[in-house]
Structures are given as structure tokens and as C-alpha cells.
Amino acid sequence: MAYAAGGGKRLRGFLALEGARLCGVAERNALWPAAAIEAVHAYSLVHDDLPCMDDDDLRRGQPTVHVKWDEATAVLAGDALQSAAFEMLLRPECHPEAEVRADLALSLARAAGAAGMVRGQALDIAAESADVPLTLDEIETLQAAKTGALFGWAAEAGARMARADTAPFRDYASALGLAFQIADDVLDVEGDTAKAGKRLQKDAEAGKATFVSLLGVAGARERAEELVERACDAVAPFGDAAGTLKALARFVISRES
Amino acid sequence: MAYAAGGGKRLRGFLALEGARLCGVAERNALWPAAAIEAVHAYSLVHDDLPCMDDDDLRRGQPTVHVKWDEATAVLAGDALQSAAFEMLLRPECHPEAEVRADLALSLARAAGAAGMVRGQALDIAAESADVPLTLDEIETLQAAKTGALFGWAAEAGARMARADTAPFRDYASALGLAFQIADDVLDVEGDTAKAGKRLQKDAEAGKATFVSLLGVAGARERAEELVERACDAVAPFGDAAGTLKALARFVISRES
């Protein structure tokens, strides 16, 4: 599978392209939401790596932006990437209908903002200083905002462009996002820093509740596998055409980075 | 004048409302771009006040966000405010036509992003560590990006909503923005911290080239007055209806905060 050969990077952009393909959207149009979601994800990583947030110095096997340049540049680069994401969706080349462009951009603003990804980040920070570790329900709520909102947007973008039903893609992405996060927790405990391209075992060091600390490694793997099945069921109506999305879901829990 | 009585705050939102009024746009619609530009401005202030940027602890007479809360919260609050700005412009309540909403949001993305405000901030940071102080032309280029792009967007928003000519508003805002920045430099040297609600005399301490360091206080005031005349001329075709915009331009160079 070409995606896996790429090392599992650019997952959100890939989701956008694949969802669009299933809805019959031309690739030259689908590339815009794919690039936009990667820009939002990149902005969130650059800000998340800052010393005042997660304080990471390695990302995708390279020095993080504030290490390579400086903190002010990292703040500004993230800010500019967010603006760039909206610009990409709103360019006439993205889609001939302004109604569709406005819908893509409005839904991204909601998925990325205070009710979506930023809320997830804030909940995550609050969890670090909480007296009591989070429960499983609370972690799922946190992850649905932090990761799930952008996964959902990416998977649905093609359906929005084709004015098709977004529900199968939303269900697929919500299960995939949670499986992805569980796999991330497993990787954090069992992974290899060189392959992952980022610092690992941070959560255990910080004493944070994770899917692994609550379910154990075996329990977490089992839950991830159930979620992958749920994701595959959600896109079953597309039949063989959804083969890549199904393979992607399976890949997400077997990846090493 | 009601605006001046408010202490000169929310200038960009006020510009958006006044430009919209001149173009016959209903206030219930104009409030959305006015709120959106204030959200972008607020995000830029929250990030600009961070220790890694300007490191300010006082803003609008109150502790800055990272002082009152913490740095991570300030990064996230700024990020969420940027998303919120696009959400406001793209809501159907903002304007009945999706074409207009998409145009407002696309132009804001360009004014705020790497070719606009963020570029101005980056140039400003680069200027601080440059071996040679900036020339007058370089400072004007920097300020056109840092302040001018958002002033221009605010003043033009009403014309975009009414599908009217944006040129008079763009010319007005470009002169006003520069006059505003010159007045800011004068205020930085001669102002009163209590009235300004922020720390002053930072530029002189940092040895930065400013309009005042290059033109002297009297020369800077004279240049600001010329710019105010140019701003008033730009909206002269609107006759008496542009009285408030003209008064605003004069107010900008006489303000104490």
C-alpha cells in the first residue's frame, strides 16, 4: 500500500484525498482541502512543541521549529499556517461554487477552534495538572476534540465538495481517530524513538492517564481493533472502492511511527 | 464623538462598521466583520505579548493573558481567536450570499497571514537584531504589512459586502494606518503609561529605528498630519457622510492611548 510505504505521515491529507475520491471529486480540487488540513495539523504541531506547551525538540526526525529557529518564529509560523489553510479552501481553484468553499472553511474553523482541536489541547493541559487522573470517558472526550475533530473534517471534506452524505465519513473518522490515539499511546510505551521521529514515553514520565494506563497494553490493543472494525463497517456501503480506507484503518494500529 | 469617548479602542472594528455604513450595509451584517477583525487583532496582541515575542505584562490596562493565566493558555487563546474570526465571517448570518462570505474570509486570510500581518511581525523581529537600523522606506513597508493590512481589510469590508468599489477605503486605510503607527511612535516617547494602558518607551530602550528616531518628534507629527489629509481626501467623494471617518483620522493622531 503506497500510503504505508510513505511511513504513515500526512494521514489527514491522505484521508481528505481518499474521501474525495470515493465521492467522485477530481484530485485537482481535493488537493486543496488535503493541503489545508495538513497546514492546520502542522500549525498545531509547531505550537504544541513550544517550550510552554509540550516542550519537544524532535519532530518527524528533525529539530522542531523553535529549536531550529526560535520561539517567536515558531509562534508566527503556526499563526501563518492557520491563515494559509483558510486561504487554500477559499481560493476559487479549490471548488467552483462559493457555497462549497464557504462550507469547507466554516466547518474547518469549527473543527480547529475553541469547540474542536484547541478545546482538546486545553483539556489535555488541564489533565496534566489535575489531582485525579482522567477516566476512560474523559480521555475519549478529550481525544475526540484534540484529534477526532480534524480527522472528521478531513474525511468529510470530499463529501462536502460533492454535496454528498457526510455521515459514513464522520463515523469512519471518529472510530479511526480514537484507534489512532490508542495506537499512539501504545507506541509511546513500546515504540522506538528512531522510527517514531519524536520523543517517546513522555506520558508515563508525566504520570498522565492514557488508554494504556487505564486498559493495559493488551486491553488497549483490543479496543483499537474493535474501533478499526467499526471504521471499516462505516464505509462498507462503498464496497470495494473503500478498500484503501479500510486498509488505512488497519495500518493505523500496526504502524511503528 | 462617540468613538473618541470610548478611549480609542476597537479601532479596526469601528472602521469596519463605519465603512459598511457608508456602503449602505445593515449594521446586523456589518457587526460580523467588525467582530472578526477585532478577534484577529486580539489574537495578534495575545501572541505578540508572549515572553518570546515582545514580553509585555500590561495590555489595555490589565495583565496580559500569559501573566493572568499562563503561556500555553495564551498560545491557545490566540489560536482559537483566529479560528473564531473566520467562523464569524462564514456564518450565514454575516451575509446572505456565500460568494461575499467567501470573499471576506479569503481577503482576511491574506491580510492576516504570511503575506500580511504575520510578515510585518516577522520583519519587525528581524529589525530588532539587524546590524543597521531600518530606513524610512523599510519602516513604511514593515508597517504597511504589520498594521496596514488589517486596517485596509477592516475599512474595505463594507464595500466587499455591498459589492462596491473598495479603492477609496483602501487608500483611506493605508494613509490612516501609517498615521496611526507614527502617532504610536510619538506616544511611545511622549505618552503616559497610565493613559496608554501598556508599557512605553520600549523602542528607544531597544535602540530600534522608529518614525521619531528618523524624523524627530516635530517631523513625525508633520508627516502624520499630511497622512491624515490624504486619508480625508480619499473618502471626500462620500461628502458629509464620511464625516466620522475624517474625524477618526484626526483623532488617531491626537489620541493619548
Question: Exposed, middle or buried: residue B171 (CB in 10 Å: 0-12, 13-18, 19+)?
Answer: middle
Quick one: pLDDT at residue A115? 96
Domains and CATH numbers, chain A: 9-252 (1.10.600.10)
Residue A101 Cα, gap to closest chain B Cα (Å):
7
Any chain A CB within 8 A of the CB of B73? yes
CA distances from A57 to A62, A186, B127, B146, B165 (A): 8, 21, 27, 30, 49
Asked if B127 is an interface residue toward chain A (Cβ–Cβ < 8 A), one would say no
Question: What is the predicted pLDDT for the residue at A235?
Answer: 97
Q: Please judge whether B75 and A75 are an interchain contact, meaning their C-beta atoms are less than 8 angstroms apart.
A: yes
Q: What is the DSSP string of A111-159?
A: HHSTTTHHHHHHHHHHHHT-SSPPPHHHHHHHHIIIIIHHHHHHHHHHH
Q: Find chain B residues with C-beta within 8 A of A109's C-beta.
A: 83-84, 86-87, 90
Nearest residue to B164 (alpha-carbon basis) of B58, B244, B238: B238
Residues of B in contact with A112 (CB under 8 A): 83
The residue in chain B having the minimum alpha-carbon distance to the alpha carbon of residue A97 is B99
How far is the C-alpha of A47 from the C-alpha of A26, rounded, in Å? 33
Residues A162, A100 contacting (CB under 8 angstroms): no
**Could you read off the pLDDT of B227-251 as tens digits, one per residue?**
999 999 999 999 999 999 999 999 9
Taking the Cβ of residue A128 and every Cβ of chain B, the question of whether any pair is shorter than 8 Å is answered with: no
Q: What is the pLDDT of residues B86-105, one digit of tens each?
A: 999 999 999 999 999 999 99
Lowest mean pLDDT among B2-6, B123-127, B156-160: B2-6
Give the one of A76, A110, A125 whose C-beta lies nearest to B87's C-beta.
A110
Say yes or no: A71 contacts chain B, CB-CB below 8 A.
yes
Q: Which residue has the higher pLDDT, A169 or A203?
A: A169
Distance from CA of B181 to the nearest CA of A (A): 21
Whether the CB of A125 is below 8 Å from some CB of chain B: the reply is yes
How high is the pLDDT of residue A1?
44
Rounded Cα gap, residues B50 and B64, in angstroms = 8
Nearest Cβ partner for B75 among A52, A86, A97: A52
Rounded Cα distance between B39 and B43, Å, is 6
pLDDT tier, B7 (very low <50, low <70, confident <90, very high otherwise): very low
Interface residue A106 vs chain B (CB under 8 A): yes
Residue with cell 528581524: B126
Query: By CB neighbour count within 10 A (0-12 exposed, 13-18 middle, 19+ buried), where does B5 fall?
Result: exposed
Q: What percent of chain A has pLDDT over 70?
A: 89
Contacts of A108 in chain B (CB under 8 A): 86
pLDDT tens for B172-205 read: 999 999 999 999 899 888 876 666 666 666 766 6
Cβ contacts of B101 on chain A, cutoff 8 Å: 98, 102
CB neighbour list of residue B239: distance below 8 Å, 6 or more residues apart: none
The residue in chain A having the minimum alpha-carbon distance to the alpha carbon of residue B88 is A106
**How many CA within 13 A on the CB side of residue B133?**
13
Does the beta carbon of B83 lie under 8 angstroms from any beta carbon of chain A?
Answer: yes
pLDDT in tens, A71-113: 999 999 999 999 999 999 999 999 999 999 999 999 999 999 9
Nine cell digits for residue A122: 486545553
- Which candidate, A72, A52, A197, places its Cα nearest to that of A125? A52
C-alpha pair distances (Å), A36 with each of A17, A40, A157: 11, 6, 11
Number of H helices, E strands in chain A: 14, 2
What does the alpha-carbon distance between residue A31 and residue A88 come to, in Å, rounded to a whole number?
Answer: 9
Q: What is the mean pLDDT of residues B109-131?
A: 94
Is the CB of B52 less than 8 angstroms away from the CB of A43?
no
A125: closest chain B residue by CA = B72
Kindly report the number of other CB atoms within 10 A of residue B40's CB atom: 25
